[in-house]
Chains A and B, each alone.
Chain A
């Protein structure tokens, strides 16, 4: 698997051959607490960088998911519809959506940078 990059909105991204995969970070899942529901777009929808592409509902709160890049959704992790708690178990193997995009967007952080800044974001 290629390297993961991180957005300020606590989304991880990794990219392979024109497809980007988004997920939430371990820090985000920890802050949210028990995830009760994940609201995601459908394949064929488009997402826009900096805009909401869904939301995550936890016991405590509802948080918007902000897209780190723009593109058309090619795949949605529908397993999360019935088992949103997978995000608490392993937020890195349980991705959210995949989009078609040319390369990685700018402005993302490396793992090291994200880990050092995550609490102030």
Chain B
């Protein structure tokens, strides 16, 4: 069988690439041995964000007294919550399956391997393709201690754990800590370093840590995680990172780096022409769904011989607390950058809703006045960050961003506030 493109893996990187190729009239075959949608849809973004939503509603029901609303005997039915989660995942997966077949993409269930340049094997059959995209994603690394479970298993628990001990302080750890503390578990996070969210802006890390503590989460720092013992009555989640999942690849076709990921350039090209890689399987990958999707699409544009252009600046979000997001550099990372902050305590929309402390911080280059980074911690931070990403990608200046009007009352008014503070600071230099 011959195709223009063979995609191995039906997660965000794989299906986005398949759609991009089909839109260009290419014939596409996609191999998936598990479930379409990959980690993101089945065990990652979607189920966790549903749980965060549901746990948030429960928390609101218990705490909305200040708005004059109260309920007698608010109940939590965990089974119902889990079946709703599975319904949502199922309906999105059905939608994805329908869309793939609607676009004429051939989906083959089975484990695929790369037999050679232009040759993929699956179930004893060979498939020829001009371009091969390896998008096999990642899996949870082995639990740090015996008795601990991974995030895949945590999502399948039949009951809400009384005590949840989370080893690791990354995004996934923090999100689960918040979800389960809102659902009533007694949660502890243990990290090796001096605070959670290593690699994030310090203010976001410290602020989220405080917000978690205010919800009753204990945070232990400076721990030797492998020396921790699983208590009898506690569930221990090992959230210590994820490892690339590689398909069988005929010897020497692609270079594998020390982190176990495939080495590729910004267009996904590996060391063999015609073999591409995208998503979590890449060496040094950010392990984010939207980044994986874009890498898949870039690879197809490169295969199609288009001018792919520079990579867009990565955007990262944390769906805990209010929400946090980060794009570009922090003031500490850039030389001679200026930053200014707007507190959400004076943002009308925030005062109306949660009234929680938050901020929008924007970083600029004082010479060119261009926006080069932003860190946000506020409600809907994930929905607010794209305009800042666009500004960075398009080289917009602080004044150009100030030109646009943002609605009142909205969380995004804080972007205007931060830009105004930044403009004043740059003028005063």
Residues of A at the B interface (CB closer than 8 Å) are 36-37, 39, 42, 45, 55, 57, 59-62, 81-82
Q: How many residues of B contact A (CB 8 A)?
A: 18
Q: How far is the CB of B343 from chain A (nearest CB, A)?
A: 5
Given contacts A36-B357, A37-B357, contact A81 B341 (CB under 8 A): no
B78 at interface, CB cutoff 8 A: no
B162 at interface, CB cutoff 8 A: no
B202 close to A62 (CB less than 8 A): no
Given contacts A39-B202, A39-B203, contact A62 B213 (CB under 8 A): no
B357 close to A62 (CB less than 8 A): no
- The listed residue (A57, A60, A81, A82) touching B359 by CB distance below 8 A is A57
B210 close to A62 (CB less than 8 A): no
Q: A42 to chain B: which residues have CB within 8 Å?
A: 194, 202
Residues of B at the A interface (CB closer than 8 Å) are 194, 202-203, 206-207, 209-210, 213, 332, 340-343, 345-346, 357, 359, 421
- The listed residue (A45, A60, A61, A82) touching B213 by CB distance below 8 A is A82
Q: B357 to chain A: which residues have CB within 8 Å?
A: 36-37, 57
The interface centre, meaning the residue of A42, A61, A62 with most chain B CB atoms within 10 A of its CB, is A62
A81 close to B206 (CB less than 8 A): yes
Q: How far is the CB of A13 from chain B (nearest CB, A)?
A: 23
A57 close to B341 (CB less than 8 A): yes
Closest 7 CB pairs of A and B: A62-B341, A81-B206, A39-B203, A36-B357, A57-B343, A62-B343, A82-B210
Q: A45 to chain B: which residues have CB within 8 Å?
A: 332
Identity of the chain A residue whose Cβ is nearest the Cβ of B421 in the assembled complex: A62
Identity of the chain A residue whose Cβ is nearest the Cβ of B338 in the assembled complex: A52
Q: A57 to chain B: which residues have CB within 8 Å?
A: 341, 343, 345, 357, 359
Q: How far is the CB of A54 from chain B (nearest CB, A)?
A: 9
Q: B209 to chain A: which residues have CB within 8 Å?
A: 81
Q: A37 to chain B: which residues have CB within 8 Å?
A: 203, 207, 357
A81 close to B210 (CB less than 8 A): yes
Q: How far is the CB of A62 from chain B (nearest CB, A)?
A: 5
Q: A82 to chain B: which residues have CB within 8 Å?
A: 210, 213
A55 close to B341 (CB less than 8 A): yes
Given contacts A36-B357, A39-B202, contact A59 B345 (CB under 8 A): yes
A62 close to B206 (CB less than 8 A): no
Bound Cα distance A45, B202 (Å): 13
Q: A60 to chain B: which residues have CB within 8 Å?
A: 346
The 7 sampled A-B contact pairs (Cβ below 8 Å) are: A36-B357, A37-B357, A39-B203, A57-B343, A57-B345, A62-B340, A81-B210
Bound Cα distance A110, B41 (Å): 63
Identity of the chain B residue whose Cβ is nearest the Cβ of A59 in the assembled complex: B345
Identity of the chain B residue whose Cβ is nearest the Cβ of A84 in the assembled complex: B210
Q: B213 to chain A: which residues have CB within 8 Å?
A: 82
Q: How far is the CB of A42 from chain B (nearest CB, A)?
A: 7
Q: A61 to chain B: which residues have CB within 8 Å?
A: 343
